[in-house]
Chains A and B, each alone.
Chain A
Amino acid sequence: MKREDLLHTGAHKINNALGQVMLARRMGKKRIIAETGAGQHGVATATVCALFGLECVVYMGEEDMRRQELNVFRMRLLGAEVRGVNSGSATLKDAINEAMRDWVTNVRTTFYILGSALGSHPYPTMVRDFQRVISKEMKRQILEHEGRLPDVIVACVGGGSNAIGAFYEFLPEANVALIGVEAGGRGMALGEHAARFAPNGGGVPGVLQGTYSYVLQNDAGQVAATHSVSAGLDYASVGPEHAMLHDSGRATYTSATDDEALEATKVLSRTEGIIPALESAHAIAEAIKLAPKMGKDKIMIVNVSGRGDKDIGILTRELDLSGDVTRKVSA
């Protein structure tokens, strides 16, 4: 496991927020805006703004504010203003729309710290470059410990920043398989998932929020609603570099359902003592499916992009653990 969950603020998002806030400072911008889905990017942005004394406004879908209440409180505690967005499905896509509207209105004073590898150029490349430290560290550490490169890397893909960061340094290494895991939600009907690359899932190339990539949409070109138990994967499009890797076949993309992610959360918590974010749990679910098919001498790295504390509210509702004792000490 690559433990991005151990980073300050609890996810890989801080890598990018730190990089972009340096840029904002260099450009002399005093006001920072951001969007957030699960709240991890919002918390990371609120954190760097606190550190550098910058005004911070975070846009968040009201549905996401409800299900990631803890992160809303963390952002406010860090001194950020959280603005709820109730248009559309009131999730990440709608928060990005509202952040972009703020940005074009206040562009002279405001820097938009976009949290995923999407949006208009240069965001997809900039965010990837700030996240590629993930695969740099992976490569160095696995060579130190195992003396060779891994066979498989698995990462969850919402907008795709943790995955592109985990893949990037391995792109030239043809023997390293790269697997991105999208949100399979409640099933493959349009509106029930966020699996943009799934065959017959409704994802086709289009333009959303300044990016040409796969977009979940109906046959009139209207962007579809999405669903995932994890707010961070609940998005109708995907970073354009993933679209390129998908089309070239360099990376493969699969999905895990809500139920599989919830089960994976339980398994990782109980076998390793690590409570992963529900987003990261999608990658864990794929690892659980894949591992039994691999030889004992093979190496798989799973990117644990964030920690699961923020999800305790959802987990409390979704998992009934009463009377659920898995280990007993024999007398």
Chain B
Amino acid sequence: MAINFSKKPGLVIYFTAGDPDLETTREMALAAIDHGADVIELGVPFSDPLADGPVIQRASERAVAKGTRLADVLVICKEIRAARPEAGIILFSYLNPVMRFGMEAFAKAAKDAGADGVLLTDMIVEEAEEYLKLMHANGLAPVFLAAPTSPDARLKAIAENSQGFVYAISRVGITGTQTELASDAKGLVERIRKFTKLPIALGFGVSTPEHVRAVVEFADAAVVGSAIVALIEKTPAEEAPRAVGEFVRSLCGGVKTA
């Protein structure tokens, strides 16, 4: 099982694939893995990233403008898998590019590319029957998002249908960095725990080493996305893998412990 948060702190790192370019995305992912990321979320850029704040919107716009396609993201997924057999890799996408690719073709291609799981932001658990069948048939872990506003019945359905981990959203709203962690977060993780033994990763607004430390007090892993993407935005491509590696190491507090 490649999704594993047994070393502390558990860390999921998000990249918008194709920003600044696919090769750099691959090198940054490898650097992140080497410096402490347990799971890489490879984001497929989309023209209308509804759940994302300005940082990831801009990255997505740049990557779409470069012509980055789902098929390209699958290629670097396969390369990352070949280079780092033990790392966790999740393909992250909005639903439409996957539907255009074909859900069944996508599930097969994701398996072939060595992905461990899939997170589709706008795939809701209530309408996921066919998607879940295809995930199961191809040995892929479906990861669903759980929000602080979700009632218990919905959290239960999300927890029961997720594999790999459950992605808890720290606050109401969209992705983006913030100075303080939301007070919603801990309560949500506790509510999800009632329904599952799966690890729970907390994301949205987790931006600093202090946040990561605070998150892993009550969750199994922290997801860092916008802070990484913002760093990439201001770093020249050739320096980005090293910069990302250093930032990931700082997020881990310098060292991971078993």
Q: Are A209 and B50 in contact (CB under 8 A)?
A: yes
Determine which of A106, A209, A220, A223 lies in contact with B70 in the assembled complex, contact meaning CB atoms within 8 Å: A220
Q: Are A101 and B47 in contact (CB under 8 A)?
A: no
Q: Give Cα A167–Cα B51 distance, bound, in whole angstroms.
A: 33
B95 at the interface (CB under 8 A from A): yes
B96 to chain A, nearest CB (A): 5
Top 10 A-B pairs, shortest CB-CB distance: A221-B100, A221-B97, A105-B173, A220-B69, A222-B47, A207-B95, A223-B47, A206-B96, A221-B96, A101-B174
Residue of B nearest to A87 (CB): B57
Residue of A nearest to B149 (CB): A107
A104-B173 CB under 8 A given contacts A87-B57, A220-B69, A221-B99: yes
A297 to chain B, nearest CB (A): 47
A97-B69 CB under 8 A given contacts A217-B96, A222-B64: no
Residue of B nearest to A209 (CB): B50
A207-B96 CB under 8 A given contacts A97-B48, A220-B70, A222-B46: yes
Chain A residues near B51: list those with CB within 8 A. Answer: 104
Q: Give Cα A205–Cα B51 distance, bound, in whole angstroms.
A: 21
A93 at the interface (CB under 8 A from B): yes
Chain A residues near B104: list those with CB within 8 A. Answer: none
Chain A residues near B99: list those with CB within 8 A. Answer: 205-207, 221
B92 to chain A, nearest CB (A): 14
A60 at the interface (CB under 8 A from B): no
Determine which of B53, B57, B95, B97 lies in contact with A222 in the assembled complex, contact meaning CB atoms within 8 Å: B97
Chain A 208-244, CB-CB to B under 8 Å as 1, else 0, gives 1110000101011111000000000000000000000
Q: Are B47 and A88 in contact (CB under 8 A)?
A: yes
Majority DSSP secondary structure for residues of B touching A = loop
Residue of A nearest to B147 (CB): A104
Q: Which of B21-72 contact A (CB under 8 A)?
A: 46-48, 50-51, 53, 57, 61, 64, 67, 69-70
Chain B residues near A221: list those with CB within 8 A. Answer: 46, 70, 96-101
A104-B47 CB under 8 A given contacts A208-B96, A220-B70, A222-B97: no
Enumerate chain A interface residues (CB-CB to B < 8 A): 87-88, 93, 97, 100-101, 104-108, 204-210, 215, 217, 219-223
| Interface residue tally for chain B (C-beta within 8 Å) | 25
Q: What are 7 inter-chain pairs, A to B, with CB distance below 8 A?
A: A88-B47, A97-B50, A101-B50, A207-B95, A208-B48, A220-B67, A222-B47
B152 at the interface (CB under 8 A from A): no
Extra 14 A-B pairs, beta carbons < 8 Å, given A221-B70, A222-B97 = A97-B50, A101-B174, A104-B172, A104-B174, A107-B149, A107-B172, A108-B149, A205-B99, A206-B95, A206-B99, A207-B95, A215-B96, A217-B100, A219-B100
Q: Give Cα A220–Cα B68 distance, bound, in whole angstroms.
A: 9
Q: Give Cα A223–Cα B64 distance, bound, in whole angstroms.
A: 10
A208 to chain B, nearest CB (A): 6
B239 at the interface (CB under 8 A from A): no
Q: Give Cα A101–Cα B67 distance, bound, in whole angstroms.
A: 25
B210 at the interface (CB under 8 A from A): no
Chain B residues near A93: list those with CB within 8 A. Answer: 48
B206 to chain A, nearest CB (A): 17
A7 to chain B, nearest CB (A): 31
Q: Are A209 and B48 in contact (CB under 8 A)?
A: yes
A21 to chain B, nearest CB (A): 22
B122 at the interface (CB under 8 A from A): yes
Q: Give Cα A223–Cα B95 distance, bound, in whole angstroms.
A: 12
Chain B residues near A217: list those with CB within 8 A. Answer: 96, 100
Chain A residues near B96: list those with CB within 8 A. Answer: 206-208, 215, 217, 221, 223
B14 to chain A, nearest CB (A): 18
Q: Give Cα A208–Cα B95 distance, bound, in whole angstroms.
A: 8
A185 to chain B, nearest CB (A): 19
Q: Are A88 and B174 in contact (CB under 8 A)?
A: no
Chain B residues near A205: list those with CB within 8 A. Answer: 99
A62 to chain B, nearest CB (A): 15
Chain B residues near A208: list those with CB within 8 A. Answer: 48, 96
Determine which of B61, B95, B100 lies in contact with A204 in the assembled complex, contact meaning CB atoms within 8 Å: B100
Q: Are A88 and B95 in contact (CB under 8 A)?
A: no
Q: Give Cα A223–Cα B122 distance, bound, in whole angstroms.
A: 15
A220-B48 CB under 8 A given contacts A104-B174, A107-B172: no
Q: Which of B94-132 contact A (CB under 8 A)?
A: 94-101, 122
B102 to chain A, nearest CB (A): 10
Chain A residues near B48: list those with CB within 8 A. Answer: 88, 93, 97, 208-209, 223
Chain A residues near B46: list those with CB within 8 A. Answer: 221-222
Chain B residues near A209: list those with CB within 8 A. Answer: 48, 50
Chain A residues near B53: list those with CB within 8 A. Answer: 101
B174 to chain A, nearest CB (A): 5
Chain B residues near A215: list those with CB within 8 A. Answer: 96
Residue of A nearest to B95 (CB): A207
Chain B residues near A101: list those with CB within 8 A. Answer: 50, 53, 173-174
Residue of A nearest to B64 (CB): A222
A100-B70 CB under 8 A given contacts A217-B100, A220-B100: no
Chain B residues near A97: list those with CB within 8 A. Answer: 48, 50
Chain B residues near A106: list those with CB within 8 A. Answer: 172
Chain A residues near B69: list those with CB within 8 A. Answer: 220
Q: Give Cα A108–Cα B184 distance, bound, in whole angstroms.
A: 13
